[in-house]
Structure 1
Amino acid sequence: MKRISILCCFVLCFLQLSAQEKGVQFQDLTFKQALDKAKAENKLVFIDCYTSWCGPCKYMLNTVFVLPEMGAFFNDQFVNVKYDMEKGEGPWLRGRFHVSSYPTFLILRSDGALQHRIVGSRPAEDFLECVKRGAKEETSQFYLDQLYRQGKLDKQQLISYRAALGDAKRNAELKQITGEEFKQLSDDERCLSRYWYIYDQEEINLEDERFAYLIAHKAEFDKQVGKEIVDKRIYDNYFERLAAIKSNVPVAELVALMKKQIASVDFEGKAEIFLSLCFVEARNNMDIDAMLDLLEERVQDLPRVFLWQTPFLDFIVEKGNKKQIERYVSLENRMLEVLDNEKLKKVVKDTFARYRSGRSDN
């Protein structure tokens, strides 16, 4: 029995080693050695920039890089190396190539010039697509960056450049590029599903001409792209903007714009967005009566991000009259009924106890 157990362990170890050999072979080389070897073998250098504490880095190493299809491509095309960005040459490489998030993957030419950057973990198929894009000079960031600066990108190259920027999560530039694509399209093309990526970006704010176009032509987008998809993009644009607004900033212009836009378009979740907008408007204007009217009628309908703020509207207690404070305090039980976090409920009870005693301090 003991011999069988030993044999099973041996077979398991052999299979694990065999699987590793089929995956990406990372070589124990210094940065200079990697460049020299790439030059001698006429290859590119692939660098995995990782840290010991990074979960997505471990996912890539243990789940993606071990796959045979990854090894087949990487080992043929690259000299593969990986460096901990907090040890050895890591900090120097981090500074040289401006690595600020993990994992980051670099594709370098043998002279040390950056050809392509990929930021973040991805499923194997998606990641391999990014790497293949970076391995070809004509679809790499380095090449397309140069053409873009020279104003020489044609329509197809603009699409390739968008993909390259997406690989590196250069979101501000991606927004700019897709904005330029939008301007190049005819009205007949702008609503087509194959160009939906131009609108489906978190970075597109409510003031962007693309969002205004989406709102104005929603019926056609519903036909071409699908109502559910279009509704979600509109809802997310509004909700993410509202949720990000801090309580101490003026909102008059934004509120006016949103009210005008929302009145002109129908989408799933419109009532919830309008309720959230009214909450933000009352909160930031410190409009006590408007806030109390809203809470008394609709507190149970507020999205969680705003619902969780309702017990901590100190301006009502600090600036309100006796009747207004009484109205606010009387809402405690209704708030507790809809809150779904026991620790928060305890904090709410303690907070309202202070309100009743005439103190709003923490």
Structure 2
Amino acid sequence: MRTLGLLLIFIATLSTSSHAQGIHFQEKGIDELIAEAKRQNKLAFVEIYLKGCPHCEALAPVLDEKKVGDFYDSTFVSAKYEANSPLSKALQEKKKILYSEFPLFLFFDGSGQLIHQGTPIDKPTRPEFIQEVLRHGHDALSPATRTSSYPARYAQGDRNLDFLINYARYAKTTRDTAQLAVLTQEFGKLFALPADLESQVGFFIISRFIDDMQNPMAQYFFSHLDTYRSKYGPQPVQQAGESVLYQSLYGRQTNTLPSTDIIAIRKAMESLGTPAPIAAQRTILKELEAYFRENNTAAATARFDEYRASNAPKIIDYAYLMRFFNEKAPDNSYAASLVTWINDALKPFKPVALNRAEVAELYREQSEAYWRLGKKAEGKQAAEKAVAIAKIVKEKPETYAKQLAKFQ
């Protein structure tokens, strides 16, 4: 029995030792990790993984390999963060980076600069997977191959497709939206034929990097949705399309998009299968903003009339959008319509149900519209209602009293 016990202890020790042969990951925040790496004259390495990610799970045992551990421990000070963990969120905030895919390798120098990133690709055999992980480490060590060298390589004329894809990954991670826009135009030049656009690489680029509805690749994609669905399935196509549309709507050009482009985005959402009322909810504010930028208050007024007829906005939606009209409209031509909108919004409610903060806001905005129409008696009455309701619901009545004071 004593011999058996010693044997079990030996086996357990051997197993623990084998498991510990991989990369030694320290439990340190990013600043502490970089400071320790600088002290040891090494680079800092962070693996970002996502719980439930199959690629991350496939990578995990490779990082436990002795050959990987020997190289990384001799060269880097390492940590691993789950993407949604506090340590991960602190890294994103401090370094102003975005995770676009998982697993993600990040390498920092002693000054805290991100000098290299990598996305290890699954390999069919363990030896090949080990070499893939080692390659990223070697690339980080070489100024000629690390991703921080990409701007210079691009300026020197490198247009290799693999390089452009990796550069796009780096630009997206570092939130370099201007360079990403340039790279997506390069992709548009390379992927011009249907066979290329519909290929796996073409679909990958559309899914990951295209952030402008006007990009030729996006235009082709949305005009051939059924082709992509038949090749890649409805859900991946839905996700790819929504990514393009949301980035177009809320990304780098969000404050300059013309109304025609935003309407096209709404129609594209519908083509993806989004019900028209839901698509309208997602774009209405951007449409109104665009009309106001274009000094087209009449179009904004007509659009909101269409929207409320098909979407039945809630009181809280009315309160926000009515304030938006009063604050952003370039002229007062909407004011009479706003009075009607608010009256219609309040019609279904019994008096006792009107004691809500949103209703006080509505009366305040209606009072402002009356003021702009020169109807002071009606404006004063609406302001008095706003103050009375604000007192009942204890919603800072003094802020509503400022509107009433305009009529004294």
Coarse TM-score class (shorter-chain normalised):
0.5 to 0.7
C-alpha deviation, 1:268, in angstroms: 0.8
SS in 2 for 1:199: helix
Q: Please name the residue that 2:29 is paired with.
A: none
- Equivalent pair of 1:179/1:210 in contact (CA under 8 Å): no
Structure 2 counterparts to residues 209-224 of structure 1, below 5 A: 209-224=216-231
- Equivalent pair of 1:311/1:351 in contact (CA under 8 Å): yes
Find the aligned partners of 1:181 and 1:244 in 2 and give their Cα distance.
Answer: 19
Q: Please name the residue that 1:330 is paired with.
A: 347
Q: Please name the residue that 1:135 is paired with.
A: 138
Q: Please name the residue that 2:382 is paired with.
A: 358
- Equivalent pair of 1:235/1:269 in contact (CA under 8 Å): no
Structure 2 counterparts to residues 277-292 of structure 1, below 5 A: 277-278=283-284, 280-282=286-288, 285=292, 287-288=300-301, 290-292=303-305
SS in 1 for 2:382: coil
Alignment deviations for residues 53-85 of structure 1 (CA, whole Å, 9 cap, x no partner): xxx89x9xxx99xx66425355322333269xx
Query: With structure 1 as the length reference, what TM-score do the two structures score?
Result: 0.57
Find the aligned partners of 1:255 and 1:165 in 2 and give their Cα distance.
Answer: 28
Candidates 264, 269, 272, aligned match of 1:267: 272
> Who wins on radius of gyration, i.e. which is larger?
2
AA aligned to 1:185 is: F
Find the aligned partners of 1:245 and 1:173 in 2 and give their Cα distance.
Answer: 11
Find the aligned partners of 2:18 and 2:163 in 1 and give their Cα distance.
Answer: 38
Find the aligned partners of 2:229 and 2:209 in 1 and give their Cα distance.
Answer: 19
CA RMSD of aligned residues (A): 5.5
Q: Is residue 198 from structure 1 mapped to residue 217 from structure 2 by the alignment?
A: no
- Equivalent pair of 1:139/1:161 in contact (CA under 8 Å): no
C-alpha deviation, 1:47, in angstroms: 0.3
Q: Please name the residue that 1:298 is paired with.
A: 311
Q: Is residue 154 from structure 1 mapped to residue 155 from structure 2 by the alignment?
A: no
C-alpha deviation, 1:209, in angstroms: 2.7
Q: Please name the residue that 2:319 is paired with.
A: 311
Q: Is residue 254 from structure 1 mapped to residue 254 from structure 2 by the alignment?
A: no
Q: Please name the residue that 2:77 is paired with.
A: 81
Find the aligned partners of 1:323 and 1:200 in 2 and give their Cα distance.
Answer: 44
Candidates 343, 358, 361, aligned match of 1:348: 358
AA aligned to 1:34 is: Q
Unaligned runs of 5+ in 2: 1-12, 27-32, 80-90, 100-104, 124-128, 367-380, 387-398, 401-408
Query: With structure 2 as the length reference, what TM-score do the two structures score?
Result: 0.52
C-alpha deviation, 1:152, in angstroms: 3.4
Counterparts in 2 of 1:32 and 1:189: CA distance versus 1, 3 Å: closer
Find the aligned partners of 1:180 and 1:24 in 2 and give their Cα distance.
Answer: 38
C-alpha deviation, 1:201, in angstroms: 3.6
Identity %: 13
SS in 1 for 2:106: strand
Find the aligned partners of 2:286 and 2:98 in 1 and give their Cα distance.
Answer: 35
Find the aligned partners of 1:290 and 1:182 in 2 and give their Cα distance.
Answer: 34
Alignment deviations for residues 313-343 of structure 1 (CA, whole Å, 9 cap, x no partner): 225689634544312333669xx9xxxxxxx
- Equivalent pair of 1:200/1:233 in contact (CA under 8 Å): yes
Structure 2 counterparts to residues 29-178 of structure 1, below 5 A: 34-35=40-41, 45-48=42-45, 69-72=62-65, 74-78=68-72, 79-81=75-77, 99-101=95-97, 105-106=106-107, 116-118=115-117, 132-136=135-139, 140-142=146-148, 144-162=150-168, 170=176, 172-178=178-184
Alignment deviations for residues 11-38 of structure 1 (CA, whole Å, 9 cap, x no partner): xxx9998698445336998556533xxx
AA aligned to 2:307 is: L
Alignment deviations for residues 117-152 of structure 1 (CA, whole Å, 9 cap, x no partner): 239xx9998999677434245863256554333213
- Equivalent pair of 1:289/1:324 in contact (CA under 8 Å): no
AA aligned to 2:183 is: I
